[in-house]
Amino acid sequence: VSPPSAPDGSLVPVPVALKPRGGGNGTGTGSSPELQQEAEGLAL
Amino acid sequence: ASDPSGAVNFVAMVDNLQGDSGRGYYLELLLGTPPQKLNILVDTGSSNFAVAGAPNADLTSYFNTKESSTYKLLGTVVTVKYTQGSWIGTLGTDVVTIPKGINGTFTINIVAISESENFFLKGVQWHGILGLAYDALAKPSSSVETFFDSLVNQANIPNIFSLQMCGAGLPVTGTGTNGGSLVLGGIEPSLYKGEIWYTPVEKEWYYQVEILKLEVGGENLNLDCKEYNSDKAIVDSGTTLLRLPEKVFSAVVGAIIQKSLIQEFSSGFWSGVQLACWAKSEQPWTFFPEISIYLRDENSSRSFRITIFPQLYIQPAFETSQNLRCYRFGISSSTNALVIGATVMEGFYVIFDRTQKRVGFALSTCAEVGGSPVSGIDGPFETTDVASTCVSTISFHEPLLWIVSYALMSFCGLVLLVLIVLLLLPARCRRHYSDNGIVNDESSLVRHRWK
């Protein structure tokens, strides 16, 4: 994503790390249903 | 701090919940005789009262019906499927007392769960579910009196309850010891600040409300307002996240990216499978925008808005290291509803006023992080820029659609039946009816020519 220019030039600092939730592969794609469910929390 | 009739002491109900947004908020109940202590999830998105009725590997306790002298088996098998998870159980009745609730013992319907799938998740500290929605959602039918209806009828309390969930800014699946309050029978003034704003309940099944507009960082998403209610918008304490219809979700994520001037982010963060971790010295919340949801006011030409700050939707995760703090995205997409779940509810004291068919929102006294508020509520706003109704017609006229489809099917069936009868009638018979046996020169000639 190309950030638009801000008057004060402030941007969200890039995260130091992106970690998988619950010990998955962490790619963010093709995650297991269990990992997705953990990510969703409850949906009752 | 009590019911005007003096029958209910609401102060006793303050802080009667435990839990967190990730695994839900639960209330302690005593079931059966002698009493068996169980923790029960508070869910405004369903209508059955059901508890584990058999040992389960993920649970520490269950309701042993054989040990209760007051348990009565009704025998009906009940199946309930949620957005996530399902269970099968058997309907019965027993007595219940609420240690931090209404004084007295009440007889209620209970489903003893015998089998479940993805319902009792690992690490949950509750053993059952208390569905507080309307009886229209009760299984196997709406004739099964809900827990809250039984309470209203037997304890003679007003038909209203309110909910405060106090997990704002705390890890979403932490120790599960955050507090909260379920006030049965009324409103406890010490749990909110300022004014209560009410929105009508569109239809009494879920707590379905009407959303008129969404803003991210003060900017209108400008979608057709029906998109926000596709195919319904509900207030549900049993859902962790703020769930948005797919089109709305994409627009919100796009607007957050734009407004927050995010340099680089993995799609896994927005889809919820990745955490973003920053150095503890960083303050990522300061870079994300506020999100406002506009709800129809009781005066339909007006609206009010509830606003959640990033502290509510960029949620600290339990997984932290020495120098990093990790966060998850508290919003997800949905195929069939907009769900105002715990992510949003943690910012507000929410009143479920069933008598007046409305849901109220007020600023929660516990919606603060580091002494600063994490939610806002204000109004009124004019609704001249919004359609007269934003509720999906498909959901509203569902019974009518069924009637129309049944009528059409009956008509088609009738036509088909006539055609079949005509086909099956012997040719001679048809000829008989057509010419009544009269033979003249012309007809005889034609017949013989065919032969």
What confidence tens digit (pLDDT) does each residue in B240-273 have?
999 999 999 999 999 999 998 777 778 889 998 8
Does residue A20 belong to the interface with chain B, where contact is any CB pair within 8 Å?
Answer: yes
Q: Specify the higher pLDDT residue, A25 or B413.
A: B413
| pLDDT given at position B431 | 56
| pLDDT given at position B397 | 46
Does residue B23 belong to the interface with chain A, where contact is any CB pair within 8 Å?
Answer: yes
Where does chain A show beta strands of DSSP type E?
17-20
The token pair at B274 is 């990745």
For residue A1, give how far its alpha carbon lies from the nearest alpha carbon of chain B (Å). 6
Please indicate whether, in this complex, the C-beta atoms of A12 and B284 are within 8 angstroms of each other.
yes
Q: How far apart are the first and last CA of chain B?
A: 98
The token pair at B330 is 């508290």
Question: Could you give the residue numbers annotated as active site of B?
Answer: 43, 236
| pLDDT given at position B225 | 97
* Ordered alpha helix ranges (H), B216-353: 225-228, 246-260, 267-271, 310-313, 342-345
Please indicate whether, in this complex, the C-beta atoms of A15 and B287 are within 8 angstroms of each other.
no
| pLDDT given at position B13 | 97
Does residue A11 belong to the interface with chain B, where contact is any CB pair within 8 Å?
Answer: yes
B191 half-sphere exposure, CB direction, 13 A CA radius: 32
- Asked whether the beta carbons of B389 and B203 are under 8 A apart, the reply is no
DSSP B149-204: HHHHHHH---SEEEEEE--TTS-TTSSS-EEEEEEETS--GGGEEEEEEEEE-SEE
Please indicate whether, in this complex, the C-beta atoms of B264 and A1 are within 8 angstroms of each other.
yes
| pLDDT given at position A20 | 61
Average pLDDT over residues A9-21: 63
Average pLDDT of chain A, as a whole number: 56
Candidate from B265, B267, B272 with C-beta closest to A40: B272
| pLDDT given at position A4 | 41
Q: Does residue A2 carry a pLDDT above 90?
A: no
Does residue B273 belong to the interface with chain A, where contact is any CB pair within 8 Å?
Answer: yes
| pLDDT given at position B6 | 60
- pLDDT per residue rounded down to tens, chain B (451 residues): 556 556 688 999 999 999 988 899 999 999 999 999 999 999 999 999 999 999 998 899 999 999 999 999 999 999 999 988 999 999 999 999 999 999 999 999 999 999 999 999 888 899 999 999 999 999 999 999 999 999 999 999 999 999 999 998 887 766 555 799 999 999 999 999 999 999 999 999 999 999 999 999 999 999 999 999 999 999 999 999 999 999 999 999 999 999 987 777 788 899 988 888 888 888 889 889 999 999 999 999 999 999 999 999 999 887 666 788 889 999 999 999 999 999 999 999 999 999 999 999 999 999 999 899 999 999 999 999 888 899 976 654 455 556 666 777 888 788 888 888 888 776 555 555 544 545 454 544 444 544 3
Q: Does residue A7 carry a pLDDT above 60?
A: no
Does residue A32 belong to the interface with chain B, where contact is any CB pair within 8 Å?
Answer: no
Torsion of CA B1, B370, B198, B22, to 10 degrees: -100
Q: Which of B314, B80, B339 is nearest to B211 (CA)?
A: B339
For residue A7, give how far its alpha carbon lies from the nearest alpha carbon of chain B (Å). 11
- Within 8 A of A40 by CB-CB distance, chain B residues are 84, 240-241, 272, 332
| pLDDT given at position B278 | 86
- Asked whether the beta carbons of B133 and B206 are under 8 A apart, the reply is yes
